[in-house]
């Protein structure tokens, strides 16, 4: 976060710079913005549109306050996500370790059931296999359209706010808000994955048991329907389905880390952007207030301007004094 002038050491505080010919009689503050000191002889005071040094300090303070308020509002969530990251990685390793032998048993059972079902008469297995393959093509298309298991974001956020206008900053803020929200939503889903993995294994075991029960039922159940259910169970037992696209345990951890990284980097950039937006909005409001005050008292402002012009001209007419011993 940018330090305000109140936090700077006296030696490093910005000194007012006398105006040069290139700035039309203006000085500039330490942020490169026009500054109009009130000291006599330092240039004309343009009350209609210009900000005083005090105005600018107040706006800088407002920007720092907005940044502080924003960080305070997200600090707990960031801390909680870091804790969730650590606990979720451990929980996933345990869930996956417990799922491996259960999955192996389920797949062996399904293989035995399919062998038995293929030996039962009254079942057009070639037709059912063809129909099942058509359905699988449609399912794979749905999976492709919904994207992969991880976040598709490079997690690069530009936090440079120097010389950026208000419209650009607002557009960048809206874009970053959306990206951060997507990363955090994905993270929140991922922390549920250890429990979801355990639930999928439990559901698969129940599914396989149901197929086995239908196979041995008396009277027998529709063999074609039982065969189809066995094919579906075999599909659910595939590694991509059970592991939800995470081929290896590290793939889950990497995805979780990517989401957390996007959240932190995005929030950090947003802190700077929000602060700069507050500064520029504050300055715009103060300029508007000065213009409103000018228009409301044109006569008074003209009188003040005339007095300053008179004072300046009188000062220039005074002969230079020389010291004598």
Beta strand pairing status for 27-28 and 34-35? antiparallel
Q: Which two tokens stand for residue 322?
A: 């020389």
For each successive 10 residues of the chain (325 residues), what is the average pLDDT? 39 40 40 43 46 89 96 95 96 96 96 89 85 92 68 94 94 97 96 96 96 87 90 93 90 95 97 96 92 89 90 80 54
Contacts of 27 (CB under 8 A, 6+ apart): 16, 17, 18, 19, 34, 35, 36, 37, 42, 43
218-to-214, 221, 298 alpha-carbon distances in Å: 9, 8, 101
pLDDT score of 169: 97
Residues facing residue 27 across a β-bridge: 35
Whether the bond between 237 and the residue before it is cis, its omega within 30 degrees of 0, is: no
pLDDT in tens, 163-220: 999 999 999 999 999 999 999 999 999 999 999 999 999 999 999 999 999 988 877 7
pLDDT score of 298: 92
pLDDT score of 177: 98
Q: In a 10 Å sphere around its CB, with 0-12 CB exposed, 13-18 middle and 19+ buried, how is residue 270 labelled?
A: buried
Question: Cα separation of 20 and 197, whole Å?
Answer: 70
The model's pTM is: 0.72
What is the distance of C-alpha 147 from the center of its chain? Answer: 19
At 28, phi and psi to the nearest 5? -145, 145
pLDDT score of 40: 43
Q: Are 245 and 149 in contact (CB under 8 A)?
A: yes
């Amino acid at each position: 976060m940018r330090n305000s002038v109140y936090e700077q050491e006296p030696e490093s505080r910005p000194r007012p710079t006398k105006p040069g010919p290139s700035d039309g009689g203006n000085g500039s503050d330490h942020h490169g913005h026009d500054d109009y000191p009130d000291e006599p002889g330092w240039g004309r005071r343009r009350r209609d549109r210009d900000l005083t040094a005090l105005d600018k300090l107040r706006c800088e303070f407002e920007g720092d306050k907005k940044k502080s308020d924003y960080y305070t509002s997200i600090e707990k969530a960031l801390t909680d996500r870091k804790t969730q990251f650590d606990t979720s990685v451990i929980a996933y390793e345990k869930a996956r370790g417990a799922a491996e032998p259960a999955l192996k048993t389920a797949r062996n059972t399904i293989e035995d059931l399919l062998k038995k079902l293929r030996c039962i008469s009254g079942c057009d297995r070639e037709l059912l296999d063809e129909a099942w393959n058509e359905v699988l093509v449609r399912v794979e298309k749905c999976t492709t359209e919904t994207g992969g298991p991880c976040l598709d974001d490079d997690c690069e956020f530009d936090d440079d706010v120097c010389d950026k206008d208000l419209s650009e900053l607002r557009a960048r803020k809206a874009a970053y808000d959306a990206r951060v929200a997507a990363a955090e939503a994905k993270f929140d889903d991922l922390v549920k994955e250890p429990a979801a993995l355990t639930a999928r294994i439990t559901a698969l075991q129940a599914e396989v048991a149901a197929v086995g029960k239908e196979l041995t039922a008396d009277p027998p159940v529709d063999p074609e329907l039982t065969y189809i259910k066995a094919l579906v169970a075999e599909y659910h037992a595939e590694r991509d389905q059970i592991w939800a696209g995470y081929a290896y345990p590290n793939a889950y951890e990497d995805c979780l880390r990517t989401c957390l990284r996007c959240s932190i980097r995005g929030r950090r950039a947003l802190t700077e952007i929000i602060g700069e937006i507050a500064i520029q909005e504050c300055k715009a409001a103060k300029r508007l207030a000065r213009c409103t005050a000018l228009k409301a008292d044109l006569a008074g402002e003209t009188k003040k301007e005339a007095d300053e012009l008179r004072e300046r001209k009188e000062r220039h007419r005074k002969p230079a004094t020389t010291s004598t011993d």
